[in-house]
Structure 1
Amino acid sequence: MARIAVIGAGMGALTAAARLAVAGHRVAVYERTDTYGGALRRFEREGFSFDTGPGLLPLPAVYRDLFVKTGKEPLESCVELVQVDPSSRHVFADGTEVSLPNASRAGVVAALDEALGADAGKRWGDFLVRAREAWDRTRRPLLEEPLWPNWQVLAEREPYPSVPHKRLLRTRRAATLAEIGAWELRDSRLTALLESHALGHGLDPRVTPASAVVLPYMEHAFGTWYVRGGLRELARAVYERCLARKVEFHFGADVTGVLEKGGRAAGVELAGGSVAEADFVVAGVAPGVLDRLTGETPVRGEGEVRPQPAAASRLTVLLALRGARPEGTAHRTVVHARDRGAELDALFGTAARDPHPTVTVLRPDDPRLAPEEHESVTLTTVVPARLDRSGDDLTDHVITVAERAVPGLRDRLLWHEVRTPADVADATGAEGGAVPVPALAAAGGRLLHPSNSTRVPGLFTVGGWTHPGGGLPHAGMSGALVAGLIVEGPEFRGSQ
């Protein structure tokens, strides 16, 4: 039985802690804030309740597997999972609207044909078939296995089977999402639908590799899910599973260093000078934080994947509305930017802020979230990391855009609260409130994440800033990988 110190109580760290504890190890979690869950926080006021982090759960099988492997009580007995249908409603720049059924290729094709015109659905359906090939080629190395030592193979090979595009005397294949939209989908609204999956992760579709097609494919194939009471309930359930497996938690415990003895990790140093010795250390923190904790010791070696700083964060606006949620309202509506170029230049270039950005509107059908005859609504838009703390001018723009999805919004508004990148930084410790992106193949490896193992024996990394990257499913997968590497050793090759 080994002693294991876990730094941070984000979702990756919690899943690793639960798996390691059930394997018979003594696990202690040290979290600098006063609660668990990382970005999965909750804000409550006057009977209203809001998720301030992710609001929907893709690929719930990751957490189902966690609960099966850590005890007899399944996930569904600890939280109420609801499949969201329609999966999403989209309001495009030209005013066209479409609602897409959850996990139904035939239903999506029919809906797109009806809303966007004949052949639109077929083009999207054919695209999903090709996206499945990319998923099949990358699923195991990017999600289920430790990062390959020869990771350059993933960096160089584009897994998406692009359709040849002939222009003048040259034949080319799409290498980015933007080129897939222009050459294969050939409709600005389908392009907006495709690119929104990358944009939601803070990725610029003009340079994001074609391999990112796995993002819309995951949603199409495995559906979109909501946890009744909000996704904070998922964090609660995982935390309680850790407690049931005798994981120790120390909140308000600021780790100031990783202790080393004999050239390997040997515990953690805490503010105030105390030390917690351990046989293994699992760090669920951002790369900059890890560098500070390890001081002079290099964590990554020559030829390894280096941490890539994320440039994007989130602005979240929480709305308390008078009046009940109208029957038949979509859970999620994406209001697309009126000027795609202006939005991308504002996010990823030096242009001024776009007053009409893409905004995601979440309106859960959940009476737990608001007083009777009232509604809780959450608005989210991608913003640059390190956005100023107030975000007041952008907040007004976001509310204005949301009125396209919520008629009469301002007349119903009782009050609103804003969560900026500074709040994300406070909750997660990530510099500037940056949000990590999922690992993706191709693009020279710039969207891969460092291995869960490090140059320091006994020190492992977990969570969105390490393989396989950002997102709730990916965090859970990283926890499974770290547990496997510690329990089985370097020969661990992932789930079979």
Structure 2
Amino acid sequence: MARIVVIGAGMGAMAAAARLAVAGHRVTVFERAETYGGSVGRFERDGFVFDTGPGLLHLPAVWRDLFVKTGKEPLESRVELVQVDPASRHLFADGTDVALPNASRAGVVAALDAALGAGSGERWGEFLVRARDAWDRSRRPLLEEPLPADPSRFGRDPYPAVKGGLLRRPARTLAEVGRRELRDARLAALLESHALAYGFDPATVPASAAVLPYMEQTFGSWYVRGGIRALADAVHERCLARRVEFVFGAEVTDVRIKDGRAVGVELADGRCVEADHVVAGSPVPALYRDHVLGWDSREDWPRYQESVRTGRVTVCLALRGAREDGAAHRTVVHSTDRADELAALGAGRLCERPTVVVLRPGDERLLPDGEHEAVTVTATVPAGDSSSSENLWGEGAAGAMGAEAFADRMLEAAAAAVPGLRERLLWREVRTPVDTFRETGAHQVPGPALAGARGELLPAANSSPVPGLYFAGGWSHPGGGLAHSGMSGALVAGLIVEGADFRGSQ
């Protein structure tokens, strides 16, 4: 039985902890905050409850596998999963309104043809076929296996070229896929919104990001009754049932290294805790910044750390009046100025007309009573480092650069999706990348690993350069998002339990 210390109680870290405990190891989790879940947080006030991280679950199979492997019982015995239908509603700049059914390619094609014109659905369907090719080529090696010592093969983009005609040269970016293959500004905006939701700039992210809409439309979108935070509650409870020890309010300040191997951690209160293995679930950039790994300059960092430049603004809205019948759970209100939005993201400034995602769960567990509604509105924004984030989002920022001013613009967009929003508003809570940093240690929100782009979107490998030190969670392979962080926990547990012979999750 090995002694294992886990740094941080995020979702990937807890997934690793539960699996390692089941394998017979003694696992202790040290978390600097007073709660678990990492970015899967919750905000409560006056009987209203809001998810402050992800609002929907994709690829629930990842978490079903965790519960089966750590207790031989289904995930559904611990949380109530609801398939969201329609999966999303989209309001485009020209006033077009389309609702896309959940996990139904034929239904999506028909809905797009009806709303955008004949042929629109067919072009989207043909795009999804190419996206499936990219998914099939990269799924197993990129998501379910440890990152190899030489990951250069992932520097090549798996998204295929269009066969025949003048488009034989593969598209280089997702924005180029939209222009060349979809040939409709609304379809292009639909495609780009999937990249924005994960914090990617469509103008620079490789065409392989096509797997993001494919994944969602193939495996569906799910809601956890009581909010996604209920999933974090269930994973924490599973860890406790497997005798994982949690120590909250305990900040790890260093990883102890002896004879070139990780042998424990040092805490802010001066204590030293010995361990046979250390699993770092905290943001990898924080470890680099604190010189834990001995890399003293940004040139030494994996390129992924520098490529993640975006964060999120989330506005929690407490509304009087019940949610109307038939309201969509998720509505994407697209920017009326896509060019400026993407230019602003690339330049590190705030745009005037952001694309916003409006979540209206209609879940009585989130409300003081049936005469109110809890709504969250999110937008992808530049995050910056500590100094620039404080300047961009701090209380002293003036005019359009202020958080409240940007929230005003978000609500102006969201009003298209929520009838009478302004008149119904009781209060709002604005959360920025500064809040993300306070709760997770990073201003940015990492996205999933993607092939292409010369390997710049590959997170840190789960096995660190220091023997005995492993990485789990959104900043490590295979990247951010609920599903991917859960995969990282499975990979770390496999590497520790099976060692060098481990070939990936089954």
TM-score (norm 1): 0.96
Question: Distance in 2 between the 1:476 and 1:100 partners?
Answer: 27
Number of the residue aligned with 1:106: 106
Give 2:338's aligned residue.
Answer: 340
Q: Counterpart of 1:463?
A: 473
2:232: which partner in 1? 235
Matches within 5 A, 1:45-444: 45-155=45-155, 157-163=156-162, 172-292=169-289, 294-295=291-292, 297-298=294-295, 305-309=302-306, 310-349=308-347, 353-370=350-367, 371-385=369-383, 386=389, 387-390=392-395, 391-430=403-442, 433-444=443-454
Q: Secondary structure at the match of 2:416?
A: coil
Q: Mind listing any 5+ residue stretches in structure 1 that lack a counterpart? A: none
1:305-351 CA distance string (max 9 Å, x none): 5442311000000000100000100000000000111001111115x
User: Per-residue displacement from partner, 1:148-194 (whole Å, max 9, x unpaired)?
Assistant: 22210111x22111215866xx9633121111111111000000000
Aligned-partner residue type, residue 474 of structure 1: H
How far off is 1:408 after superposition? 1.1
Q: Give, in angstroms, the shift of residue 76 of structure 1.
A: 0.3
Aligned residues with identical type, % of pairs: 65
Shift of 1:471: 0.6
Is 1:482 equivalent to 2:492 in the alignment? yes
Q: Matches of 2:90 and 2:303 in 1, distance apart?
A: 37
Secondary structure at 1:103's aligned position in 2? coil
- Aligned partners of 1:56 and 1:224 also within 8 Å: yes
Contact 1:257–1:292, Cα closer than 8 Å, also in 2:
no
8 Å CA contact 1:320–1:414 kept in 2: the answer is yes
Structure 1 SS opposite 2:227: coil
Which residue, 434, 445, 455 being the options, matches 1:445? 455
Amino acid of the structure 1 residue aligned with 2:97: E
Is the 8 Å Cα contact of residues 10 and 37 (structure 2) preserved in structure 1? yes
In the TM superposition, what whole-angstrom CA distance separates every residue of 1:419-440 from its partner, at most 9, and x where no partner exists?
111101111111xx10111100
Cα–Cα, structure 1 residues 360 and 304, in superposed 2: closer, same or farther, change >3 Å?
A: closer
Are 2:446 and 2:479, in contact at CA under 8 Å, matched by a contact in 1?
yes
Instruction: Write the letter of the residue equivalent to 2:438.
Output: D
3-state SS of 1:44 partner: strand
2:40 aligned residue? 40
Output the CA distance in 1 between the equivalents of 2:164 and 2:50: 46
CA distance in 2, matches of 1:292, 1:267: 19
Show the counterpart of 1:15: 15
Separation in 1 of the partners of 2:359 and 2:292? Answer: 42
Contact 2:54 2:228 in 1 (8 A): yes
Q: Matched residues in 1 for 2:229 and 2:334: separation?
A: 27
State the superposition RMSD in angstroms.
1.7
2:288 partner letter:
D
User: Counterparts of 1:274 and 1:171 in 2: how far apart (Å)?
Assistant: 61
Tell me, what secondary structure is at the counterpart of 1:353? coil
CA distance in 2, matches of 1:299, 1:235: 34
Alpha-carbon distance in structure 1 between the residues aligned to 2:52 and 2:205: 27
Structure 2 Cα separation of the partners of residues 166 and 143 of structure 1: 33
Work out the CA distance in 1 between the residues paired with 2:158 and 2:305. Answer: 21
Measure, in 2, the Cα distance between the counterparts of 1:148 and 1:296. Answer: 20
Distance 2:300 2:267 in 1: 32
What is the rounded CA distance, in whole Å, between the counterparts of 1:295 and 1:425 in structure 2? 19
Q: Distance in 1 between matches of 2:42 and 2:336?
A: 31
Give the counterpart letter for 1:455 in structure 2: P
Q: What is the alpha-carbon distance in structure 1 between the residues aligned to residue 453 and residue 293 of structure 2? A: 31
Aligned-pair distance for 1:362? 0.1
Tell me by how many angstroms 1:10 deviates: 0.5
In 1, Cα distance between equivalents of 2:290 and 2:494 = 24
CA contact (8 A) 1:47 1:369 kept: yes
Cα distance in 1 between the residues matched to 2:136 and 2:168: 26
- The CA deviation string for residues 30-80 of structure 1, in whole angstroms up to 9 with x for no partner, is 000000000111111111110011100010000000000000232101000
Cα displacement string for residues 109-134 of structure 1 (whole angstroms, at most 9, x for unaligned residues): 00000000000001101111111110
Q: Quickly say closer, same or farther: Cα 1:304–1:142, change in 2 above 3 A.
A: farther
Give the conservation status (yes or no) of the 8 Å contact 1:287–1:307.
no
Question: Cα offset for 1:287?
Answer: 2.4
C-alpha contact 2:304 2:457 (8 A) present in aligned 1: no
Amino acid aligned to 1:440: L
Which residue of structure 1 lines up, in the alignment, with residue 398 of structure 2? none
| 1:353 CA displacement | 2.9
Secondary structure (helix, strand or coil) at the match of 2:305 reads coil
Post-superposition offset of 1:450: 1.5
- State the SS of the aligned residue for 2:134: helix
In structure 2, C-alpha distance between the alignment counterparts of 1:409 and 1:213, rounded to whole Å: 34
Q: Aligned partner of 1:460: which letter?
A: Y
Q: Is the 8 A contact 1:91 1:334 kept in 2?
A: yes
